[in-house]
Amino acid sequence: MNILLIHQYFLEDDEPGGSRFNEMTRIWAKQGHRITVLAGAMPYVGNKKREEYKGRFTTLKKQGDITVWRCYVSESYNAGFAGRMWGYFSFVFSSLYAGWRKLKGRYDIILVTSPPLFVGVTAYLLSRTKRIPFLFEVRDLWPESAIDTGVLKSNLLIQTAYRFEKFIYKKAVLINVLTPAFRTKLIEDKKVPAEKIIFIPNAADFSLSEQLLQTFDVERFREEHSLKGKFVIAYVGAHGIANHLQQIIETAKLLKDTNVQFLLIGQGMEKSRLMELATRMGCTNVSFIDAVPKNDVFNYILASDMGVSVLKKVDTFKTIYSNKTFDYMSCKKPVLMAIDGVSRELVETAEAGVFVEPENPKDFAAKIRIYMENPYLLKIQGNNGYNYAKNNFDRTILANVYLQEIEKIINTHV
């Protein structure tokens, strides 16, 4: 098959962040399928464009067996709401140009993943002009998440976004959702036909964790990073408004009488403010670490006692699975889950950690003290999470399920 993926945040090989489609497309390519990606030229985290993309509207790259067209994205992406919107729409224009002028040959299907929702513009127009179907993936409910976090406030823009969302759902031949709550939301609230929706969730990358679990020297890493004798809790991911990492710093202050050390690994718009807050509160038990490639991320997780998943306390986030949770589970680390809803259900069903009331530092600190007083829970729940993820969220298995759904669409539209 010849698959065209539209993904504004498709990672570079050495770039940190969520690598769902980097891993799945790699699996598909190894099976002999041809994969072309229209991706953005701005990194998912940070605001510095690579030198190789500056002054260029499109750039052709190879990432292993994957062909990637890096398309222009404005460097104003992190400069407030207006900059963020132009960052989205500049990609729409540049990816359309690449799709119409740079792509040669026949494609069997377009696979587009959102957010941002506006990538649907590129998918729909290319689908019409190239006469091929498109499958739309919902990684996050938008515009709901933008509204709940205060990013989207204009009633006109909100209504426009809802209308466009409805249009894209109607035009897509199939919609993939990443959580069962998304499926319920689309069927009950957005009136999308149930037969049009499939569920292929985020997953754990065992290809990396299984190797490291056998070879990684935890004690040496801890000593090299001044973590020896500490109870280490890792957070891996974006440092943005939606993540609300302030609650971790407030929790750290309540645990200053212990040997707890929080590692906040990643980048984002809120990072500098959070660092200033930690200094102001005297929280020397919080370490800020720049975003690192996936291999290095797993090193930090394996050297930790627990992983933490947090988001702002809003109803929309009750519908999502946190990506980082699967990384913790694949590394046999129990999860402090400060996200209610389906993420809480996941951890409690797997018996792989504990729910923490979001934005409640006192509850956060109390739950951590339980693990410090009962260290045997770390191994038991870590193994529980690993086994549950292995049985239900193995990325290799789910990549093949996804491919089967794509093949059904292609066969139907021949």
Q: What is the CATH number of domain 206-392?
A: 3.40.50.2000
The predicted pLDDT at position 70 comes to 97
The predicted pLDDT at position 77 comes to 63
The count of residues in the chain is 414
- CA 238: distance to chain centroid? 9
With beta carbons less than 8 A apart as the criterion, state whether 352 and 391 touch.
Answer: no
Amino acid at 395: R
Other Cβ atoms less than 10 A from the Cβ of 365: the count is: 18
Mean local confidence (pLDDT), 94-122: 94
Mean local confidence (pLDDT), 30-37: 97
Summarize pLDDT for 177-207 with one digit per residue, the tens. Answer: 999 999 999 999 999 999 999 999 988 888 8
Q: Which of 88-102, 104-118, 204-218, 384-398 has the lowest mean pLDDT?
A: 204-218
d(CA 222, CA 244): 27
The predicted pLDDT at position 1 comes to 94
Q: Which tokens hold the place of 89?
A: 């729409």
The predicted pLDDT at position 157 comes to 84
Mean local confidence (pLDDT), 86-102: 93
The closest of 328, 322, 308 to 383, measured between CA atoms, is: 328
Strand partners, 236: 265
Is the model's pLDDT at 276 over the cut of 70?
yes
d(CA 57, CA 337): 41
Q: Dihedral sign, CA of 378, 379, 380, 384?
A: positive
Whole-model pTM: value is 0.86
With beta carbons less than 8 A apart as the criterion, state whether 136 and 122 touch.
Answer: no
Residues of the chain with CATH 3.40.50.2000: 2-203+394-412, 206-392
The predicted pLDDT at position 98 comes to 97
Amino acid at 372: M
For 61, list phi and psi in degrees, rounded to 5. Answer: -135, 160
The pLDDT-based confidence of 115 (bands split at 50, 70, 90) is confident
Q: Dihedral sign, CA of 292, 298, 300, 306?
A: positive
Mean local confidence (pLDDT), 225-232: 96
Summarize pLDDT for 42-70 with one digit per residue, the tens. Answer: 887 666 788 899 889 999 999 999 999 99
Q: What is the CATH number of domain 2-203+394-412?
A: 3.40.50.2000
DSSP per-residue codes, 152-203: ---HHHHHHHHHHHHHHHHH-SEEEESSHHHHHHHHHTS---GGGEEE----
Other Cβ atoms less than 10 A from the Cβ of 66: the count is: 21
Strand partners, 234: 263, 307
d(CA 185, CA 143): 13
Q: Which of 208-212, 274-278, 305-309, 333-337 has the lowest mean pLDDT?
A: 208-212
d(CA 381, CA 280): 35
